[in-house]
Each structure stands twice: as C-alpha cells, then as structure tokens.
Amino acid sequence: MISSHSVPNIFQPLLISPPSTEIIRHEQLRLESEYCPLLSSPSLSTLANSSSHSVVITITDATRPSPDRLLLHLIRKTLDEAGIKPEQITLLCATGLHRPMSRDEAIDKFGEENLAGVEFVNHAANDRDQLVEVGVVDSIPVVVNRRCVEADLLIALGVVEPHQYAGFSGGAKGVVIGCGGEKTIQETHSIGMIGRSGTQLTAIQGNPFQSFVREGGKKVGLRYVLNVALNAEGEVVGSACGDPIEVHNYLAAKSLKICRVDLPEPASAALVGVPESKGTNLYQASRAATYLALAERSPLRPGAPIIIPATIREGAGDGIGERHFFDLLSRVESPVALIREFEEKNSPAGGQRAYIVARTLLNHPIIVAGAEYPDVVRACHMIPAIDLDEGLNIAEDIVRQRFGNHQQTLLLIENGLTTIPRLAEQRVG
C-alpha cells in the first residue's frame, strides 16, 4: 500500500480515494442474473443451441487484470449445459502485439479446469496464416484472427476499465484490437487516430477509436460478451453480458462513477501505483503516468514529478509493440524529437505509447522506483530509483528546485489505472 509509506516532510500527502460502491462477491455472480444482467441479446444457451458446432472465446492476456478464471467458469458451465463439448471450444488469448502467454501463466490465470479438453491459442498479430480481413471501417482495414470469423459462436471476455484511446476497454476491443492484425493495430494507434478530437481517456461518445472498435466488432460477427468492472482493489463492482455495445455502455457508465475524482487544487507531485499485471514491464507501467498527466483537466502542476513503483521484471516488455516502444524512445535524443518524428511519419504499432510517454515527459519527470532494469528506464528518458524511498527523495529535489521549499501537495493514488483524478472545472484557467 503506497498510502502507508512515509514521505519527506516537504510533502503534504493527499490520498485520492474513489467513491465506494457495492462489491459483487464471486459466489453472487451468475450468468444472465441480477448481478450479471443479459442486455439486448438472446441467452447464451439459445445462441449455443441454435448454431454452435465451434465456439471461440477470446480471453485477456497477462497484462489485463480481468478475472477470466471466474468468467470462463460461468461461460463453460452454460456451454456444457447447452451440449457444447470441450473439443468444440477454442480459447483465443487476445495478446494484440504483446508477448504470448506461457502454459504455466495460462494455468495460473485461467485455471487448469477451464483449460481441460479445449484448444488454447495465443493470437499472433503478425502471422498472416492466422489473419483474415473482414472489411474496412473509417478507411482502416479490419484484420482479425480468422478463428474469430470462422467460429459458429464468438464470445469475448474482458474488463471495462479506463483506456487512453478507447475511453474504456472491454466490449469488442478484445476481438478487434486484441485479436487484430498488426496492420489494424498500427493504423488505429497512429497519429491519424489517437490525435483526433474525441480520442480520449474515459470518453465513449464521439470517440473515433471506440467507434472503430464497435463497427469492427459487428463486421467480425461478435454477438455476445461477458465483461466486468473492477474497483481500485481489483474487486468486481459490475458485470453484464450480451450485446457488446450495450454491455460496454452499461459498465463504462458504472466504471466512470468510481474512477473519476475532482480535486480543488493542482498538486506538485504524485505517487501512483499500478496492479501487478501492469508493473511487469515499462510499456504497461508507464500508463499510470500518462493516465494522470493527460487526463481531462490534469490535476498536476507543470513540472510535477510522477513516481511509479514497479519492478518491470520484463524490462520494456517482450512483445512486438513493447519492443517498438523501447526502440523509438531509446534512439531519440529527447522526447521532443520523438514527438516530431511520430507526428511527421507513421511509426510501427507500439510507437503510440512512446509518443504518449514523450508528451507526458514534456511536463513531468517520470521516476520508476524499484526497477530491476534501471538502464531500460534511463534509456527511455525516465529516472530509475533503487526503491520507493529513493524515488521520493528524487521527487523532493525536483519539487524544491521548481516550486520552492514550502510544503507541497503529493497525490497518493493506489491504482492509477482505475482512479482518474482531475482538476475541478471551476479551477481550470
């Protein structure tokens, strides 16, 4: 718990606590029930009985905190009751451009009982044999894993949480992007998309990225999703199943209520935690800084340092996108140079995170505390710290130089990916 850590005397810590909400216990979750309503869709058993010789279920990879073990149990129980045999089911891990999951990781996340008898496949966005194009949306080709298209029944599992470009993850994103081809991922993450008006953290309506995802989901044939919303502690606070768009709208509204916190004054520094699934590499851990710095009405003063405790035991990350992220950031002399390059020409998928980090670094030093690969942090124009104490001391030096020696506000955010503080509207300007 970062909120219990002692801080230098210059800081007045301010713990950002999102509004509390009722927790849904695992034993309360039943598919198509009070705690998991069926929205605008036939029941799963009806869909399975009507057409299903083959079923593909897309599941999240190791970088997502979705409780897929529980969700898979609910889905597989219903499919079993509908007469679907394990050998008819494929679990397709929606890796996007992240690294594939190992068998041991899959067992740990999804449960050996859920993997029994089914085919488990890691999506590979650059494997042409896995891919098929199903159409074009907003001049971008919708290229996805052919298993999604060839299945008699396609089901997507996932978590609805704040997302830098889609507004909120979940819905059809796990299929269209998570199981998308490299070309689709690259074009949806180019400056032409992420630089457009409306492509914004926690924004759904008028968001061109989200519109692409939803229209792409229709072209792929996705009809049924099971999604959850989580609080900062990773507990389930909302669940729904059925139509991808209706489920996404329902849970995004629920998530927005518990993630957004208005602050009366800007802060001079921030200490931001990330869940373990995001702290394994720099590509994912850096989200905590960009979500805070680039949120609507950022609650930080220009120049305020951001501290992220993260081991980054995989360095920058082992996937294609993560490697592109590191290559772009590490070979430029400054964040300004990367921004200029990204805006002038197309960069490979993964470059968008380098661009977003570079935009954040223009105003905020990023300190990664406890990094096992300090050279990777340094190469990406961030500041490594041996541990959290050293990270706080570095932040203290920066704050004293920029804002003086009087006491300054330090934001404490336990989970920077599910808690999004912003400056209250009356304070803007």
- Cβ contacts of residue 183 below 8 Å, gap of 6+? 141, 143
Structure tokens at 399: 């704050």
* For range 11-31, the mean pLDDT: 93
Inform me whether the pLDDT recorded for 379 exceeds 50: yes
Q: How confident is the model at residue 19 (pLDDT cuts 50, 70, 90)?
A: confident
What is the per-residue pLDDT across 149-191, written as a single tens digit (0 to 9) for each?
999 999 999 999 999 999 999 999 999 999 999 999 999 999 9
CA angle 276-280-285, nearest 5°? 85
- Which phi and psi angles does 170 have, rounded to 5°? 95, -170
Minimum mean pLDDT range among 49-53, 97-101, 107-111, 215-219 = 49-53
Inform me whether the pLDDT recorded for 393 exceeds 80: yes
Cβ atoms of 352 and 177 closer than 8 Å: no
At the topology level of CATH, where does 2-18+264-427 sit?
A: 2-enoyl-CoA Hydratase; Chain A, domain 1 (3.90.226)
Cα four-point dihedral sign 304, 310, 315, 319: negative
Q: How confident is the model at residue 277 (pLDDT cuts 50, 70, 90)?
A: confident
Inform me whether the pLDDT recorded for 427 exceeds 70: no
Q: How confident is the model at residue 287 (pLDDT cuts 50, 70, 90)?
A: very high
Domain with CATH 3.90.226.30 in the chain: 2-18+264-427
CA angle 307-310-311, nearest 5°? 140
- In the chain, the percentage of residues whose pLDDT exceeds 90 is 89
* For range 386-395, the mean pLDDT: 98
Residue 426, pLDDT score: 64
- Distance, in Å, from the CA atom of 353 to the CA atom of 290, rounded to the nearest integer, reads 9
Domain with CATH 3.40.50.11440 in the chain: 31-258
Beta bridge partners of 59: 93
Cβ atoms of 100 and 64 closer than 8 Å: no
Quote the strand ranges of 189-317, DSSP E.
Answer: 224-230, 236-242, 260-263, 269-272, 306-309
Distances from the Cα of 408 to the Cα of 88, 300, 362, 379, angstroms: 60, 12, 21, 29
Inform me whether the pLDDT recorded for 96 exceeds 60: yes
Distances from the Cα of 375 to the Cα of 69, 307, 330, 367, 379, angstroms: 36, 17, 10, 13, 6
Residue 428, pLDDT score: 47
What is the per-residue pLDDT across 205-258, written as a single tens digit (0 to 9) for each?
999 999 999 999 999 999 999 999 999 888 999 999 999 999 999 999 999 999
Distance, CA of 188 to chain centre: 15
What is the per-residue pLDDT across 335-354, written as a single tens digit (0 to 9) for each?
999 999 998 887 787 789 99
Comparing 290 with 21, which gets the higher pLDDT? Answer: 290
pTM of structure: 0.93
Q: Kindly give the pairing relationship between strand 162-163 and strand 167-168.
A: antiparallel
Cβ atoms of 127 and 201 closer than 8 Å: no
Q: Kindly give the pairing relationship between strand 260-263 and strand 269-272.
A: unpaired
> Three-class SS of residue 150?
helix
Inform me whether the pLDDT recorded for 52 exceeds 90: no
Residue 63, pLDDT score: 81
Give helix then strand counts, H and E, for the chain.
17, 19
- Distance, in Å, from the CA atom of 201 to the CA atom of 426, rounded to the nearest integer, reads 21
- Distance, in Å, from the CA atom of 259 to the CA atom of 164, rounded to the nearest integer, reads 14
Q: Kindly give the pairing relationship between strand 55-60 and strand 89-94.
A: parallel
Q: Share the mean pLDDT of the chain.
A: 94
Name which CATH class applies to 31-258: alpha beta
